[in-house]
Amino acid sequence: MVKIGRLLTAMITPFDKEGLIDYDQARKLAKGIIDSGSDGLVIGGTTGESPSMSDDEKLRLFAEVKEEIGDRGAVIAGTTDNNHNKSVELSKKAEEIGVDGLLLTVPAYNKPSQEGLYRHFKAIAEATKLPGLLYNVPSRTSLNMTSETTLRLAQIDNIIGVKEASSDLVQITRVIDDAPDGFKVWSGNDDETFPIMCVGGFGIVSVAGNIISTQIKTMMGMLLEGNIESAASEHRRMLPLFKALFWVTNPVPIKYSVNRAGFDAGKQRLPLYEADESFTSKFDEVMDQYDVDLLV
């Protein structure tokens, strides 16, 4: 089993001119992100436009990316949504393909109770032997998974951590403090990696990692070495870019960034639509302040 490292990048999904997944470009992008310093990739998550992809597309994408990067990095497959039975079946199929873990995302639209969340994730975890990474993202789902529910799920052997994007540092710290040994917390927001790691978080599932993996990894290394002042300086330096990447709905800005850096990732699938000039003119000014690490 490939180790699931500290810096995971939520990879965008390249599309061709017809709007189909460009699997060759996905392979190149995956390799480039790993070469740039990421420890693994989340494939088929929000940043990958998973709601706009069919199950067959997701499974092929998981397989192609895993074949490309092999044991050089973990592939975490986004297999869950608000359809419980489909989530279980897709998770099983992803395991057969050979992915390294599953992203277990709080479902949107259904708005289940905390008990419903617990049973949903418990059943998915029990259906495979793969490690599961919970994903709490209330801004997308209109539902917060409480620390109590997260800590209940942390008792399940193959639920190994949580990607926390609630922006509630008290809740996140409570999970870090009370979780069993081996249960890890990844920040779900690039602008919160520094404070979350400072209170004991493990790492980040990054959007910005598509273009600046090396710089993020350097900042994390400073933190782990105890060089808080230098890490804080790096965090502050990257913060304007972290913020700009969410001026409009993710993944529109990060896909624009990758294309602007010279890698053809195509456009978004509807209902997402490319940003207009009022965004790009301001965003270009921010992006011009940074080097791009992407090795493609």
Q: Using alpha carbons, list the distances in angstroms from residue 98 to 34, 46, 71, 103, 201.
A: 18, 21, 11, 14, 27
**Helices then strands (H, E): number in the chain?**
12, 8
What digits encode the pLDDT tens for the residues 248-263? Answer: 999 999 999 999 999 9
Neighbours of 282 (CB within 10 A): 12
Which candidate in 163, 184, 217, 255 is catalytic? 163
pLDDT bucket at 94, cuts 50 / 70 / 90 = very high
Q: Using alpha carbons, list the distances in angstroms from residue 167 to 137, 202, 283.
A: 9, 16, 24
Q: Which two tokens stand for residue 292?
A: 């791009």
**pLDDT of 296 strictly over 90:** no
89 φ, ψ (degrees, to nearest 5): -65, -40
Angle between helices 228-244 and 277-287 (to 10 degrees): 160
End-to-end CA distance of the chain: 27
pLDDT bucket at 117, cuts 50 / 70 / 90 = very high
Q: What average pLDDT score do residues 140-157 get?
A: 96
Domains and CATH numbers, the chain: 7-287 (3.20.20.70)
**pLDDT of 106 strictly over 70:** yes
Higher pLDDT, 10 or 275: 10
The share of the chain scoring above pLDDT 70, in percent, equals 100
Q: What average pLDDT score do residues 107-125 get?
A: 97
Which candidate in 23, 118, 135, 256 is catalytic? 135
Mean per-residue pLDDT of the chain: 96
What digits encode the pLDDT tens for the residues 178-187? Answer: 999 999 999 9
**pLDDT of 4 strictly over 80:** yes
158: DSSP letter? T
Residue 135 bears catalytic tag = yes
Q: What average pLDDT score do residues 17-30 get?
A: 97
Q: What average pLDDT score do residues 10-31 get?
A: 97
What digits encode the pLDDT tens for the residues 46-69? Answer: 999 999 999 999 999 999 999 999
This prediction has a pTM of 0.95
pLDDT for res 1: 64
With beta carbons less than 8 A apart as the criterion, state whether 251 and 48 touch. Answer: yes
Residue 66 bears catalytic tag = no
CA atoms of 174 and 196, how far apart (whole Å) = 11
